[in-house]
A and B are shown apart, each in its own frame.
Chain A
Amino acid sequence: MRRTACLSLVVVLLTAVAGCTGQTRPEPSEGSEAPYKRGSGVLRVLAGSELADLDPVLADAETATGVRVQLTQIGTLDGIERVVSGAAAADQDAIWFSSNRYLELHPDAAGKIDVTTKVANSPVVLGLRASVAQRLGWDRTRPTWSEIAEAAGAGRFTYGMTNPAASNSGYSALVSVAAALAGTGRALTTAEINALTPRLRPFFAGQSLTAGSSGWLADAYVKRQTGDAPVDGLINYESVLVSLNHGGQLSEPLVIVHPADGVVTADYPLTLLAGASEQARTNYAAIADYLRRPSTQRRIMDTTFRRPAVPGVEPADVLGPVDGGLVELPFPSRYDAATALVTGFGDALRRPARTIYLLDTSGSMRGARLDGLKTALLGLSGADTSLSGALTRFNGREQVILLPFSTRPAASRRFDVPETNREPALNQIRDQVRRFAAVGDTAVYDALVAGLDLARQLDAAEPGRITSVVLLTDGERTVGKSFADFRAYHAKLPAPTKAVPVFTLLFGEGNVGEMTEISALTGGRTFDARTGPLAAVFKEIRGYQ
């Protein structure tokens, strides 16, 4: 009885405390700041993956404001498409990417976005292993983008960068190097961009690692440093590079190179979508207010190394030049020029891709699954004319290899898309895809070995491409080699082939564990296609090819 009384007492006291804290406003951590604004419920935000590192800040924002920020991750380009088509407004209240510049140039963007709050700043710069930076002398003097491009073209260092069609950091780097090499001092026009092609190509020849997101790029760089094919550096947000230096995972620190002739800086605008509900507006105002408080700004800088967006918060010492040491390079001022840069990158500038698709055409794929696969590949061959479709289609100079498999791997078909006049090659791809039929068993690992053998032969005969493999299967291996066999095979591959990433899809009744292990073993990534359309995932994977 006594124990019951004590328990009741505790429960009552807890209830009383909870009742009180539910009603009183928590005090800001800095005495001079005003009380927090309050909201309630959820603020649904479509966000870039690079903002995930703000989760602890957002957790405290919920305590202070009563608003839970629910981030739904999406690539920059898919995000733009959802905003301009109006799809985002149907299930989201706000968007939060590292930049709105490209979105705001889109002819259909006006009227889709409402209030904007800039949350932080971070320039896109180059991080290089200390020994490589010393060899190039860039730990002592800051090179220009032209000098960086020349050294990359001469093979004096390799680097990773995200795909400009999928991620803002890669796009910002592309804008920077193009604007700097043009050297006109003003925003580039479409005609000027086309004329720059021969001077930009050498820069991208040095790229040996690509990715669809800035976070994945940083992870891939860390994994590669201990493997057989390490990369010398990466282009990313200053915040990501400084975080790597403080993360304890690097065998060699990065020297952060701020190009002497300028950068493009991300400003992280939290943006309300037009048509948001009154509750969403209240919640947005509370979160925006929380994020721009000096105490929050200081914390964002201390924990994620982004520069502050409000005055009065001194930039941390680890961050690069201030007071004019960094010049902000001009972003294109027109949508056509901004888009010409991305398509030009894919068709003419980047190291051409060698893209090997291993496609399950066993009996279980019959019906909707095979139709979905055909739609996805036809979309990449030009049938998808949406913005994301246009920017993820097969590129000029790309080598596309289709290798269907069922009981055995079928003969592979290779398509070389020319730099100009791509249509005949794309037509051939479409013809081939339409002929796919579903019958037989599932020899997953026979197909994987065939695909990597092909990669090895083709890379030996014609090196210099960025090679990757996509594996789609909707079921367990039923015949042929086992996962153990594949692991043994992979261990004996020569270094360049061992570094070919395999991107696996979780689909149908496929073996989730094995698919995840394959991507981990090869430095690839696993994509979940179990709930959405296959075409969307195939487009997402394009960022990594």
Chain B
Amino acid sequence: MRRPWILVIAIVILAVLGAGIGYYLAVPERLEPVRGVVGSEKATFFADPRVRDALADHGLRVEVDARGSGEMSTTVPLGRYDFAFPGSEQAAERVRQVRPAVGSYAPFESPLVVATFTPIVDLLAGQGAAHRAPEGHWVLDLDRFLDLAHRDVRWDQIAGNVAYPARRDILLTTTHPSDSGSAAAYAWLAARQLGDDSPAVDQVVRLFADQGGLERSTDDPFQKYLTQALNFAPLVLAYEAQYVEAARSETLPSNATLLYLSPTVSGVHTLVAFDGPGDRVGRLLDTDPELLRLAAEHGFRTADESISAAVLAGLSAGGAALPARIGDLVQPPAPAAVEALLTTLDVRLRP
């Protein structure tokens, strides 16, 4: 009569013990949570388990949201984050105006490039808008390209074009310059080439307005480049790091290749820390050898060129190695110099 009850009690004790052990094992290590808002092109870096482990070694668990760099100073609720990590110094400056920083770090950069396809490069070369640099990589001649865009030349108007005879204007597919750092940098580059009189500004406006609806953050069009390939668009503005990362993870679409803009500008990805935990993340990204190595693996160019050069040397596009140094790189503009242009674009594109 008593035996079954003993059995039951024993099982209850074992079950409680088992659940306790399970609970103990399931509770994650006690890491300090840090929240950041980052340009979407850096989201895969922060999601990489090796990056998470490297930060955990320093007691940090970093959770990030991906937003456009331009959005960070307009619609992002900065109050809930320990740091913001836009894609340019200009966007970082605007962030600092909205919320004061305790520190800023620029651990790596990445030049603006165009993700495209081999047959498309051939078509542009035929139009004199693309050529090989002396080192072998392909270059988009911005002056010549802007001229094609200005004349509203369509892909189906290129003689002998059977590769992509689409009835669409020859334009770069970008994000919205008000929301996203890459598009803002392209707007500035174009304006710099065209001059700053009012017809030139009209031309810059049309580089965006003629595309149709624009996405808010750089990784959105790039992901569509990867998944929909030429169905989505022939020429997609991106950071070199995005292309390198896709090449290394073998997710590039078939016939994918890379055009370097000439001139181009480098996105100096700048971490703006609002408090102690955010500052620790910034300092680690700037100095920790493991994190710098991982940033290079994700395609970013580090201040110590030897770290990123090893990664870039292993990759090629268009039958040539990626350049160790970017030629025809212009200095990024002073934040104030972009401000007026972006305000004009915002008014013209969002009536």
Q: Is the CB of B246 within 8 A of A105?
A: no
Is A86 close to B, CB under 8 A? no
Q: Is the CB of A311 within 8 A of B246?
A: yes
Hey, what's the 0/1 contact readout for A102-141 against B, CB within 8 Å counting as 1?
0011010011001110100100000000000000000000
Is B319 close to A, CB under 8 A? no
Q: Which of A278, A326, A327 contacts B168 (CB under 8 A)? A: A327
Residues of B within 8 A of A261 (CB): 166-167
Hey, what's the 0/1 contact readout for A310-354 against B, CB within 8 Å counting as 1?
111100000001111111111111111000000000000000000
User: In the bound complex, what is the Cα–Cα distance between A308 and B223 (angstroms)?
Assistant: 10
Q: Is the CB of B227 within 8 A of A333?
A: no
Residues of B within 8 A of A183 (CB): 167
Q: Give the Cβ gap from A446 to chain B, nearest Cβ, in Å.
A: 51
Per DSSP, chain B at the interface is mixed
Q: Is the CB of B12 within 8 A of A12?
A: yes
Residues of B within 8 A of A329 (CB): 168, 212
Is B11 close to A, CB under 8 A? yes
Residue of B nearest to A11 (CB): B8
Q: Which stretch (B88-96, B132-140, B182-190, B229-237) binds chain A?
A: B229-237
Hey, what's the 0/1 contact readout for B140-152 against A, CB within 8 Å counting as 1?
0000000000001
Q: Is the CB of B350 within 8 A of A107?
A: yes
Residues of A within 8 A of B4 (CB): 1-2, 4-5, 8
Q: Is the CB of B167 within 8 A of A327?
A: yes
Is A187 close to B, CB under 8 A? yes
Report which residue of A180, A184, A313 has the largest number of chain B beta carbons within 10 angstroms of its beta carbon.
Answer: A184
Q: Which of A20, A110, A262, A336 contacts B19 (CB under 8 A)? A: A20
Residue of A nearest to B23 (CB): A23
Residues of A within 8 A of B227 (CB): 121, 307-311, 313
Q: Is the CB of B233 within 8 A of A328?
A: yes
Q: Which of B19, B217, B228 contacts A121 (CB under 8 A)? A: B228
Is B195 close to A, CB under 8 A? no
Q: Which of A5, A274, A278 contacts B5 (CB under 8 A)? A: A5
Q: Is the CB of B15 within 8 A of A185?
A: no
Q: Which stretch (B63-71, B104-112, B281-289, B308-316) binds chain A?
A: B63-71
Q: Is the CB of B213 within 8 A of A111?
A: no
Is A411 close to B, CB under 8 A? no
Residues of A within 8 A of B340 (CB): none
Residue of A nearest to B171 (CB): A186
Name the interface residues of B202-232: CB closer than 8 Å to any CB of A: 208-214, 216-217, 220, 223-224, 226-232
Hey, what's the 0/1 contact readout for B1-44 against A, CB within 8 Å counting as 1?
10011011001101100110011011000000000000000000
Residues of B within 8 A of A185 (CB): 152, 154-156, 167-169
Is A279 close to B, CB under 8 A? no
Q: Is the CB of B251 within 8 A of A311?
A: yes
Q: Give the Cβ gap from B8 to chain A, nearest Cβ, in Å.
A: 5
Is A40 close to B, CB under 8 A? no
Residues of B within 8 A of A25 (CB): 26
Is A493 close to B, CB under 8 A? no
Q: Give the Cβ gap from A195 to chain B, nearest Cβ, in Å.
A: 17
Is A34 close to B, CB under 8 A? yes
Residues of A within 8 A of B117 (CB): 324
User: In the bound complex, what is the Cα–Cα distance between A520 and B167 (angstroms)?
Assistant: 44
User: In the bound complex, what is the Cα–Cα distance between A265 and B349 (angstroms)?
Assistant: 22
Q: Is the CB of B246 within 8 A of A101?
A: no
Q: Is the CB of A104 within 8 A of B213?
A: yes
Residues of B within 8 A of A334 (CB): 209, 349-351
Residues of B within 8 A of A4 (CB): 4
Residues of A within 8 A of B154 (CB): 185
Is A513 close to B, CB under 8 A? no
Q: Is the CB of B210 within 8 A of A186?
A: yes
Residue of B nearest to A183 (CB): B167
Q: Is the CB of B211 within 8 A of A333?
A: yes
Q: Give the Cβ gap from A432 to chain B, nearest Cβ, in Å.
A: 38
Q: Which of A19, A105, A327 contacts B166 (CB under 8 A)? A: A327
Q: Is the CB of A15 within 8 A of B351?
A: no
Name the interface residues of B54-101: CB closer than 8 Å to any CB of A: 63, 65-67, 74-77, 80
Residues of A within 8 A of B65 (CB): 114-115, 281, 285
Name the interface residues of A180-236: CB closer than 8 Å to any CB of B: 180, 183-187
User: In the bound complex, what is the Cα–Cα distance between A325 and B23 (angstroms)?
Assistant: 53
Q: Is the CB of B209 within 8 A of A333?
A: yes
Q: Is the CB of B220 within 8 A of A327?
A: no
User: In the bound complex, what is the Cα–Cα distance between A34 and B47 (angstroms)?
Assistant: 10
User: In the bound complex, what is the Cα–Cα distance between A107 and B80 (angstroms)?
Assistant: 25
Is A9 close to B, CB under 8 A? yes
Q: Is the CB of B220 within 8 A of A321?
A: no
User: In the bound complex, what is the Cα–Cα distance between A5 and B217 (angstroms)?
Assistant: 62
Is A460 close to B, CB under 8 A? no
Q: Is the CB of A333 within 8 A of B229?
A: no
Q: Is the CB of A101 within 8 A of B350?
A: no
Q: Which 4 A-B pairs have the closest CB atoms?
A: A324-B230, A330-B212, A5-B4, A16-B15
14 A-B residue pairs with CB within 8 Å? A1-B1, A5-B7, A23-B19, A25-B26, A107-B351, A115-B67, A116-B217, A121-B227, A185-B155, A187-B209, A262-B167, A265-B231, A309-B227, A311-B227
Q: Which residues of A contact B (CB under 8 A)?
A: 1-2, 4-5, 8-9, 12-13, 15-16, 19-20, 23-25, 34, 101, 104-105, 107, 110-111, 114-116, 118, 121, 180, 183-187, 261-262, 265, 267, 274-275, 278, 281, 285, 307-313, 321-336
A185-B154, A322-B228 known; 5 new pairs, CB 8 Å cut-off, are A19-B18, A121-B224, A186-B152, A324-B234, A330-B212
